[in-house]
Structure 1
Amino acid sequence: MKWLIASDIHGSALYCGELIKAFGREGADRLLLLGDLLYHGPRNDLPKGYAPKEVIAQLSGLKDKIFCVRGNCEAQVDQMVLPFPVMAEYCLIETADRLVFATHGHVYNTDNPPALFEGDVLLHGHTHIPAKTQVPAGWWYLNPGSVSIPKEGSPRGYLTLEKGLFLWNTLEGREYDRLAL
């Protein structure tokens, strides 16, 4: 199974549309969204193409393929307008004999990690900065960056996961990092 993993759309219909194109181009089976889908939040400027109602329509077309965790910008009203669950704090994926703990990053993060074993993965967005770091305890922290509001000069992008291989890609599909676990 191939996963496409993305975070922090923040209501940009423009970049959500690019993400959906990438989902099709990648031939992914599932789309894992790491939160902050519709609202830009008080700390961010409006992203280009800000149109949350359009994002709702775009994502609704993939409702049977989406898994999502709640970001710090999600609220109960978001669940009322989206046809797939968005309020879970985390989701678990088992791949290549490893556990992937997927969350947004505002609750569970490298400063407050869940129970992980050596080789496991803490996967979260929230920072808008791509990451690939093995912590001293032996587990990995991975971040796909942001779809619409990247920070620290990082590209707009996403991750794919297939057979234990994580690939970081720009929204245009250019691979720029990888990790095989």
Structure 2
Amino acid sequence: MKIGIISDSHGAFGDFKKAYDFLEDADYILHLGDVLYHGPRNDLPDGYDPKSLAELIKNDDRFIFIKGNCDSEVDEMVTAKKIEDKYLLLEFDNFKFLLSHGHRKNINSEISGAESKGYDGFFYGHTHVKRLEKDKILVLNPGSTSIPKDCCKSFALYEDGTFYLYNLEDLSIIKLVKMAGEDE
């Protein structure tokens, strides 16, 4: 199973397309929210082209979406995709992950809640700050493909029990975490 994980694209087509092309053989692509609109707190990202981004998404059945604070009903109309409203429980390769955009509650309480329910991990976006760590459960924020608030634009990939966090600019691995065994 190969799954791409993206968040906070905010309508920036070029950067999204670079991650999308890298994930061409992924079985699924999870988008953790803030797909098309840049939002009132953000400047227009480079390559802002939500119409082209919507068309790309519309023609690909691999996408699963979580609603972010900048997403609306019109996003569902132009992408022809269902956007899950608050949370989504996703199971693959015998793991259970809770997905959220991350803007509704305190992230630490969200992580504790996922842990107390016996989930293997919690994925979120919203902060535009990448995070990949595993203590009791895996915690993943793929960062932002358009407006990073840390070092670089980024996205994540799951393949064969390992999560990878990638720098979008040069496609180098920033960090990896294995679901079982030693991390690198």
- Residue 116 (str. 1) matches residue 115 (str. 2): yes
Contact 1:109 1:122 in 2 (8 A): no
Shift of 1:14: 1.4
Which whole-Å CA distance do the structure 2 matches of 1:163 and 1:108 have between them? 31
With structure 2 as the length reference, what TM-score do the two structures score?
A: 0.86
Number of residue equivalences: 175
- Cα distance in structure 2, aligned partners of 1:22 and 1:90: 26
Q: Who is 1:149 aligned against? A: 147
2:182 matched residue in structure 1: none
Deviates further, 112-121 or 82-91: 112-121
Deviation at 1:139, TM superposition (A): 2.5
Q: How far apart, in 2, do the equivalents of 1:176 and 1:151 lie?
A: 16
| Structure 2 partner of 1:53 | 51
Give the match for residue 127 of structure 1: 127
Q: Which consecutive residues of structure 1, in runs of 5 or more, have no partner in the other structure?
A: none
Q: Matched residues, percent identical?
A: 35
Structure 1 partner of 2:83: 86
Work out the CA distance in 2 between the residues paired with 1:165 and 1:8: 22
Which runs of no fewer than 5 residues in structure 2 stay unpaired? 180-184
The 8 Å contact of residues 74 and 87 in structure 1, kept in 2 or not, is answered as no
Q: In structure 1, what is the equivalent of residue 5 of structure 2?
A: 5
SS state of the match for residue 107, structure 2? coil
1:128-154 CA-partner distances (Å, limit 9, x unpaired): 11112446xx2232111101111122x
Moved over 6 A (4+): none
Structure 1 173/56 Cα, relative in aligned 2: closer, same or farther at 3 Å? same
TM superposition shift of 1:19: 2.0
